[in-house]
Structure 1
Amino acid sequence: MKLFDPTSKPVERAVDLAPRPASLDGLRLGLVDNTKFNSDTLLALLAERLARRHGMTVALTSRKRSPSHEIDEAAVKTLRAQADLVVSGIGD
């Protein structure tokens, strides 16, 4: 009898990480809400803390259609233009 292993190993992909800012002070924050339960609450609390600690301001909040959908290209373009740092929030 032959047994087959139905699992597969994850595909490794090289990903370039975004450059990190030297400081968070005064940066414009972009938020991406993935629509999962409580992601909006998590992002609001994070934005509040970053504002208090670093003087960051929320420049833009974008909301995805659903957690499984990518953020649309127009929103990416706007986030790049208006935010210095973008956080994508997940809930649950």
Structure 2
Amino acid sequence: MPLFDPTSPPVARAVALAPRPATLRGVRLALVENTKFNSDALLERLAARLAREHGLEPVLMHRKRSPSHEVEEAAVAELREKADVVVSGIGD
């Protein structure tokens, strides 16, 4: 069984960032709501503010089954097809 030694030094690795749009105007925004208390309200307010102040276009909100579940493959495909950026929210 492999064991992780928390005292060992971290191993650096290169990570590429996702490309960033030059402007947010017209960018299609999707939200992933995790079912935690107030996460839907938080995301709706965030989407409204991003639309008002930066011109994003909210296109869909996906609701996860629970905070501990991953987003289903069909939902991931829909997010890729319909959105340019995705915000996954928490709540509480």
Which TM bucket (shorter chain)?
Answer: 0.7 to 0.9
> Is it true that 1:73 corresponds to 2:73 in the alignment?
yes
Cα offset for 1:8? 5.8
Counterpart Cα distance in 2 of 1:56 and 1:45: 13
CA positional deviation for 1:17 = 3.0
Unaligned runs of 5+ in 2: none
Aligned residues: 85
Cα distance in structure 1, aligned partners of 2:38 and 2:77: 26
Separation in 1, partners of 2:83, 2:56? 10
Q: Distance in 1 between matches of 2:31 and 2:63?
A: 8
**CA 1:41–1:20 in 2, change beyond 3 Å: closer, same or farther?**
same
**Alpha-carbon separation, structure 1, partners of 2:84 and 2:40:** 20
Whole-angstrom CA distance in 2 between matches of 1:20 and 1:64: 26
How far is the alpha carbon of 1:21 from its aligned partner?
A: 1.5
> Distance between the aligned counterparts of 1:14 and 1:76, measured in 2?
25
What's 1:48 paired with? 48
Task: Give the deviation of 1:26 after TM superposition.
Answer: 1.3
TM-score by length of 2: 0.81
Answer yes or no: is 1:17 the counterpart of 2:17: yes
CA deviation profile, 1:32-91 (whole Å, cap 9, x unmatched): 001111110110110010110122121111000000000001000000000011000000
What corresponds to 1:26 in structure 2?
Answer: 26
Which runs of no fewer than 5 residues in structure 1 stay unpaired? 1-6
Amino acid aligned to 2:36: K
